[in-house]
Chains A and B, each alone.
Chain A
Amino acid sequence: MDRVPILRLGDCLLVTVQVDMHDELAMTLQDDLTNKIVATKARGVLIDISALEMVDSFIGRMLGNIAAMSRILDAQTVVVGMQPAVAITLVELGLSLPGIRTALNVDAGLALLRKVLDRSGEGSYVD
């Protein structure tokens, strides 16, 4: 079964969704990502959905859930590269994903993540 690859990038995790998300894949990603955040003590999660061309309400909710879970595990989530059609669909579905940070591309997403982490970085554990 395919899995969504999760790459480690310093203290961040890079999730690139390369295939169309079906429900089961989204559930697996949720498991994998939470495990990986705990295992690597990641502080940030970057989800690149630029290859995602179709979303439904379930996938939209999954993105929101993943962000909420990451926040509980003290990792900031940025969703990057959302296609215009996907954005329009989500808005029409009434899912404007409040509380999720977004950026246009991976570059901008990393910069945003750095800024957020730097701001909340004081007093955190550094090894």
Chain B
Amino acid sequence: MNRLASRLPAIVEQHQQEILTEWVRLQLESGSWRAGRLQESQLRDESQRFLALLVSNIHKGMQFDARNSQWSEIREFLADLSRSRATQGFSPSQVATFVFSLKQPIFTRLRTSLLNEPEALADGMWETTLLLDSLGLYTTEVYQQARESVIARQQEELIELSTPVVELWPGILALPLIGTLDSERTQVVMETLLQRLVATGSSIAVIDITGVPTVDTLVAQHLLKTVSAAQLMGADCIISGIRPQIAQTIVHLGIDLSAVATKASLSDAFALALKRRGLTVTGSATGAARG
């Protein structure tokens, strides 16, 4: 096997120029490169660089290993290629096809060179397949990693954006919640609210759940935890924005909210908060006349 294995690098190296020409022609013919905004010259350039890297690395053994530092050059090239193609709008299979399409020209060369040695030909094809498959799969892996990191970043941003704590009045905070509450979000909500309570020295927080589509036992439990934590720090919570259906759900689920002040609307909750702070709102005579 080892004796025969040495044939493939020699053949690829010897016919590098022909393989490249053939490969680029095949890629241009298939038309898959037009899916994105890739220029023909760029495709030629990338193909040439990849093949050159492959030829200079092919003697290191057939098994591509992403963790092996020997392959770091080719790994970085493929990672860059995969990322740039991902941003150009290529699908992962189109990116992998870039590598896989190299098989055909190499097979053609092997066939003509090893015409009279069927065993060496079969081995050579097997090695080429192994190598190019692992390289192609690696591009898919990188593509997926790039996508996942984008998703993770967006998720984080979403969590940060969706938990604003606003000061309604000196000493009264409001936390308008929008969207489904899961454990991770509740943790962020809880921390943000408690930190703002300390920072502003507020003694009342209004948690408005108008924008929360459904309340199940888990969400209610999260809410109650937030309320208890705020109470431990010496602040009162009022839950507002409870829609009729939500009120029904809460009772049907047997959730006990009696420990918390609840109001149907944010304005009711604000009125209660003002009352607890010993404040009253009065309309001025001039304002009433104008209004």
Contact = CB atoms under 8 A, between A and B. Distances in A.
A77 B80 CA distance: 63
B203 A88 contact: no
Contact of B235 (A83, A90, A101, A104): A104
Interface string B257-273: 00000000000000000
Contact of A102 (B195, B201, B202, B231): B231
B: contact size bracket: 10 to 19
Interface stretch (B57-65, B161-169, B222-230): B222-230
Contacts of A96: 228, 231-232
B198 interface: yes
A97 B232 contact: yes
A108 B234 contact: yes
B194 A87 contact: yes
Given A87-B194, A104-B198, A108-B203, A80 B234 contact: yes
Contact of B229 (A80, A88, A103, A108): A88
A44 interface: no
Nearest to B228: A96
Interface in B230-249: 230-235
A105 interface: yes
A90 B234 contact: no
Contacts of A90: 229, 232
Contacts of A85: 191
B197 interface: yes
Nearest to B202: A104
Contact of A109 (B190, B230, B234): B234
Interface of B: 187, 190-191, 194-195, 197-198, 201-203, 225, 228-235
Interface of A: 79-80, 82-88, 90-92, 96-97, 101-105, 108-109, 112
